[in-house]
Amino acid sequence: MPRTCLSIRNIKSGRTLNPLDTPIAPGEPLPHRKVIRNWIAPLADRSTLFALSLVVLDFALYGLALAGIILFDNLAVKILLGMVMGFIIGRLFILGHDACHQAFTDNRRLNRWVGRLLFLPSLTTYSLWETGHNTVHHGYSNLKGFDFVWCPKTPEEYRALSPAARALERIYRSGWGPWLYYLIEIWWKKMYFPNARQMPTRRRIFTLDSLMVTAGGIVWIAGLIWAASATGQSVWLLLLTGFVIPFIFWNGMIGMVIYIQHTHPEIEWYENKAEWAACQPFVSTTVHLTFKYFGRRLLHNIMVHTAHHVDMSVPLYRLPEAQHKLETMLPGRIVVQMFSWRWYFQCARYCKLYDFTNKQWLDFKGRPQPAFPNVNH
């Protein structure tokens, strides 16, 4: 059954709803998003020097991984470095994601061009991502009919699919299919020359940015072909380890990241816009993934996600502080999950179809799922 949703407190009167240093007790109505954003507004200051140093570092790592793929002869090493290169592409993308939000450097024009540069290794079209992510996903997180990223299907929608489409949906939600989901459903359909059905709005910048990405891909592939010829290596082997593996790994990385940011047994999806708005979705539809060791830093804090949805202008290098403030002010309201592979595959087995009326996950036969095990482990 659905959890009771807390209504948004009216702030039109201009009254101070809650002292900035007083946490809101569980069960109390949530304040308006403007009030919540004010808690972390002081953390939105950006450092251009620090941001650009992150760009230089990650592009240096990218170049080292690519050089290693070209120079090492051992196939296992090449494959491993291809995966490392895919991970670094993900790090570059995360920086570009911040630039696309205008949350990276102090200069808006610099953010736009640095963002395009950072998106090139992942072959991501900047303006299409800006529209689909900033406007649609952030504007309507977990609202069916608007937010298209990992939106679960109802039993009726699943049964209406063709046998091939049902099989593909099972692969997507198996835990092993995020790379295929992102590659097909997001990148191919929506981020690279999308048709009018996928992107009804037609803008010249979408085409220009897609052409820029195409040119980047051609340069990448041509460079590997030249390197193979110059070093006497197999062209196909170098293309496999220096292009295909990194690109597939990157797709799997981002596909999984966006899955676990908004998919969790305690996170709800909505199909009624009024109900969705009343549940303060900027707080209630995201997961804060925590890690042992260095996972958070390796991913440039992208899993510190609640604070990012509350205020997109907070730079990634200040998100931990902002998240701590939110969790202090809203005790018990934010879903915090320690990441483990065991938890991830449990979540993938649990979250198949969705009952939007009762806010309940179902299996592929449309049956309600039992209590989720080990949610906080």
Q: What is the pLDDT of residues 102-157, one digit of tens each?
A: 999 999 999 999 999 999 999 999 999 999 888 889 989 999 999 999 999 999 99
User: Of the candidates 243, 228, 237, 235, which has an alpha carbon nearest to the alpha carbon of residue 83?
Assistant: 243
Mean pLDDT of 263-279: 90
**Other CB atoms within 10 Å distance of the CB of residue 320:** 15
For the entire predicted model, the pTM comes to 0.90
List for the chain the helix, strand, coil content (%; round to 5): 60, 5, 35
In this predicted structure, what is the pLDDT of residue 244?
98
Q: Is the dihedral of CA 135, 166, 160, 262 positive or negative?
A: negative
Is a pLDDT exceeding 60 seen at residue 18?
no
Is 231 within a domain?
yes
Is 315 within a domain?
A: yes
Domain ranges, residue 312: 43-362
Residue 34 domain-assigned (yes or no): no
> In this structure, is residue 198 part of a structural domain?
yes
3-state secondary structure of 361: strand
pLDDT at residue 374 in the model: 62
Check residues 89 and 200 and name the one with the higher pLDDT.
Answer: 89
* Domain contains 20: no
Structure-model confidence comparison of residues 175 and 2, the more confident one: 175
* Per-residue model confidence (pLDDT) at position 376: 53
Question: For the chain, what percent of residues have pLDDT higher than 90?
Answer: 72
Number of domains in the chain: 1
Q: Say if 16 falls within a structural domain.
A: no
The answer to whether residue 230 is domain-embedded is yes
Q: What are residue 143's phi and psi, to 5 degrees?
A: -110, 110
Name the residue with higher pLDDT: 203 or 16: 203
* In the predicted structure, residue 196 carries a pLDDT above the cut 50: yes
Compute the mean pLDDT over every residue in the chain, rounded to the nearest whole number: 90
Q: What is the pLDDT of residue 20?
A: 53
C-alpha to C-alpha distance for 175 and 246, rounded to whole angstroms:
20
> Could you give the angle at the alpha carbon of 130 between the alpha carbons of 127 and 132, nearest 5°?
110
Mean pLDDT confidence for 48-67: 97
In the predicted model, what is the mean pLDDT of residues 236-262?
Answer: 96
Per-residue pLDDT reduced to its tens digit, 329-341: 988 888 999 999 9
- pLDDT grade for 195, boundaries at 50, 70 and 90: confident
Burial (CB count within 10 angstroms: exposed 0-12, middle 13-18, buried 19+), residue 247: buried
Taking residues 247-260, report their average pLDDT: 96
Q: What is the pLDDT of residue 6?
A: 40
Query: What is the model's pLDDT at position 153?
Result: 96
For residue 14, is it within any domain? no
| Average pLDDT score over residue span 14-33 | 67
pLDDT of residue 10: 38
Alpha-carbon dihedral angle through residues 193, 197, 202, 208, given to the nearest 10 degrees? 0
